[in-house]
């Protein structure tokens, strides 16, 4: 069995973008879906995943989590985030004063 064809039960296989524990979380970054493989990631890992999945940002962009009360909090590159589906993030250029 290859890494891409790990079996989970009779006749079931796990897609290659899901780890052996079945972890996969989809968040939104700049209005685009980003799929992550674990339930924890650093700000740098979230941005790297977004870039790899075609989101037009750069690794030095400032990452913010959009909170349910309408505010946001900055996520540093080394800050760990506990991920769950439907979390929303924005990433802006460090020199953007908007």
26 neighbors 85 (Cβ within 8 angstroms): yes
48-91 confidence digits (pLDDT tens): 999 999 999 999 999 999 999 999 999 999 999 999 999 999 99
Token duo for residue 55: 């989101």
CATH assignment of 20-92? 3.10.20.90
30-52 confidence digits (pLDDT tens): 999 999 999 999 999 999 999 99
| Cα gap 25→14, rounded to integer Å | 15
Q: Which residue in the block uniquely carries the two structure tokens 């009779």?
A: 10
């Amino acid at each position: 069995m290859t890494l891409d064809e790990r079996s989970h039960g009779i006749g079931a296989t796990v897609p290659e973008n899901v780890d052996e524990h079945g972890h996969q979380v989809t968040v939104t970054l700049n209005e685009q879906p980003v799929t992550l493989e674990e339930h924890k990631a650093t700000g740098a890992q979230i941005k790297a995943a977004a870039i790899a999945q075609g989101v037009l940002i750069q690794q030095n962009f400032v990452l913010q989590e959009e909170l349910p009360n309408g505010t946001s909090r900055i996520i540093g590159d080394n800050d760990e985030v506990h991920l769950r589906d439907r979390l929303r993030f924005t990433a802006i250029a460090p020199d953007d004063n908007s």
